[in-house]
Amino acid sequence: MHAKLRLYIIVILMMGLGIGLILYKHFALGFPLSPDDKKSVWTIEAKIDFIARGDPVIVSFALPPQTPNTVFMEEDFASPDYGFSELTSPAGRRAQWSKRTASGPQTAYYRLSVYEMDPITGTVTSDLPSEPEKPEFDEVLKTAATTLLDQVRSKSANTEIFTRELISTLNSNAPSQNQRLLLNDQSSEDYKTHLIINLLALEGISARIVRGLYLKDGRRRQSLSNFVEVYIGGQWLLFNQDSGESGEPRNFLIWQRGDQSLLDVVGGRNSQISFSIIRNVHSTRNLVVRDGMNKQAGLVDFSIYSLPIEQQNAFKMILLLPIGALIVVIMRLLVGIRTSGTFMPILIALALIQTTLLTGIIIFLTVVGTGLLIRSYLSRLNLLFVARISAVIIVVIAIMASISIISNKLGLDQAMTVTFFPMIILAWTIERMSVLWEEDGPREVFIQGGGSLLTAVIAYLFMTNRTIEYLTFNFPELMLVNLALILILGQYTGYRLSELYRFHSLERRHVSGKR
């Protein structure tokens, strides 16, 4: 009883650890549970053009802030012959290119690859706003502003509705006198943004400008769009200044917050900035692994991913073996299928993976069948046992070579995969089956041979399942769960399925005996 309790504790610990690690990797590191999970990776290129005047040049360019929901895969800065540095200040990151003298048209590039993570709830960046400065309007404008604000205030119940109402009033198709006065016919984006912020400030509401980029595949010569971010109820809320919609739109990258300039060029003129955007689709797993390696996250850094690709591929296969072992345990302990050699089916299944199912089975049956024929002749030659099994190995190799050559001549390329079958195992199988045939008759040979093949095919089907292959390789901690399952199965003392058949006549006799 004591030992049993200990075993259950171990099993529960292993299950907990295994499943816990899987959940951690899935939710915290973002490993997808399905191999088909894909993500869009946006490559954004900012091109800065200006004409230098022959003086020292400093180009300062605002870089997008990193947020928990976006992952920056790669950032490149390129500009010939310029010195480059990246500056980080509380206001945000900036890139700075500099050169002693430059003249004529100049170009600088900034390239960013970025993808979005699944939003993680509860991580709202709430930097506190400063007290809104009362804007200075001249008398006429101030009157217009106050009238407009009164009008909007009367229609709204809280700050959020107020902001939305204000924006839609300013954007209305039939503007009143006041609105036209405020908008001043200057329909530039920046003017409107500042107007909204100023009006909100008059009302005592903190707001700031946000510039961002709509991510759409194949766009060129894009510019940043302006948004208004308003501090409501302890957090910042983004408003579209054209429609009044709140919340961050889909596929939108926030480039800059606050009123710093996007681009400063000292020693140049006619500076221009344009963005182009390309979308690529990548498997989520690859992105996450790459990100983990970059960040040196312990679980990723100390894992199979840190091995060379060749070893990784070997492990892909090795990590499937526990699944095969589990199948064998289930087939033998729960179903009660007899196999020749305990784990021979797994080795056959591994060979089947290389050869594909049908070809593999045909090859297996051909090799074993031919081997049995030749082996029955060998048994008449009166050989010592070790010599005979060695002879069988050579026979197996000869059969395999002939299958390869003949199938090649016939143009059947598939059958050439015969070399993937483990020769020694095949030889042992032939030897065992042959002895079994002599001692227990062909029936037993078919039972055990069929049982082995059935187990191998089931193991094959599981081991070639894309999802299982993906999960075993990317979540090696599944092995702990697998081990726990096998430990539990090792405690199973109930009947095997085959025993329900073996003893079924007993049941009938008991019934007839009672009648």
Residue with smaller CB distance to another protein, 100 or 504: 504
- Residue 422 interacts with another protein (CB under 8 A): yes or no: no
- Residue 514 interacts with another protein (CB under 8 A): yes or no: yes
Binding-site member from 310, 439, 451, 460 for another protein (CB under 8 A)? 439
- Residue 446 interacts with another protein (CB under 8 A): yes or no: no
Residue with smaller CB distance to another protein, 207 or 426: 426
- Residue 2 interacts with another protein (CB under 8 A): yes or no: no
- Residue 377 interacts with another protein (CB under 8 A): yes or no: no
Binding-site member from 441, 446, 450, 488 for another protein (CB under 8 A)? 441
**Residues 480-499 interacting with another protein (rule: CB under 8 A):** 491-497, 499
434 burial via Cβ count (<10 Å: 0-12, 13-18, 19+): buried
Binding-site member from 384, 409, 410, 411 for another protein (CB under 8 A)? 384
Report which residue type is found at 10.
Answer: I
Instruction: Print burial letters for 70-88: b (CB count within 10 Å at least 16), e (below 16).
Output: bbebeeebebeebeeeeee
CB of 3 to another protein, least distance (A): 11
Name which of 405, 340, 348, 400 is nearest 371 in CA terms. Answer: 400
Cβ-Cβ contacts under 8 Å for 260 (sequence gap 6 or more): 62, 91, 92
CB of 488 to another protein, least distance (A): 13
3-state DSSP assignment of residue 76:
strand
CB of 315 to another protein, least distance (A): 31
415 near 404, Cβ under 8 Å? yes
- With vertex at residue 502, the alpha carbon angle to CA 340 and CA 489, rounded to the nearest 5 degrees, is 60
Residue with smaller CB distance to another protein, 200 or 328: 328
Please work out the total of residues on this chain that contact another protein, with binding judged by CB under 8 A. Answer: 33
Residue with smaller CB distance to another protein, 84 or 501: 501
- Residue 504 interacts with another protein (CB under 8 A): yes or no: yes
CA R_g for the chain: 36
Cβ-Cβ contacts under 8 Å for 33 (sequence gap 6 or more): 26, 471
How many other C-beta atoms lie within 10 A of the C-beta of residue 265?
24
Residue with smaller CB distance to another protein, 29 or 454: 454
Residue with smaller CB distance to another protein, 377 or 385: 385
CB of 390 to another protein, least distance (A): 12
Q: How far apart are CA 491 and CA 61, in angstroms?
A: 67
CB of 391 to another protein, least distance (A): 13
- Residue 6 interacts with another protein (CB under 8 A): yes or no: no
Q: Classify 348 in phi/psi space as left (phi over 0), alpha (psi -120 to 50) or beta.
A: alpha
Q: What is the DSSP letter of 90?
A: T
Q: How far apart are CA 473 and CA 315, in angstroms?
A: 7
Residue with smaller CB distance to another protein, 186 or 512: 512
- Residue 385 interacts with another protein (CB under 8 A): yes or no: yes
**Residues 314-353 interacting with another protein (rule: CB under 8 A):** 333, 336
> Which is it for strands 83-89 and 92-99: parallel, antiparallel or unpaired?
antiparallel
- Residue 505 interacts with another protein (CB under 8 A): yes or no: yes
CB of 459 to another protein, least distance (A): 21
> Tokens for 320?
């499937």
> Tokens for 440?
């227990």
Quickly tell me which residue has 């002879």 as its tokens. Answer: 391
Residues that bind another protein (CB under 8 A): 333, 336, 382, 384-386, 435, 439-441, 444, 491-497, 499-510, 512-514
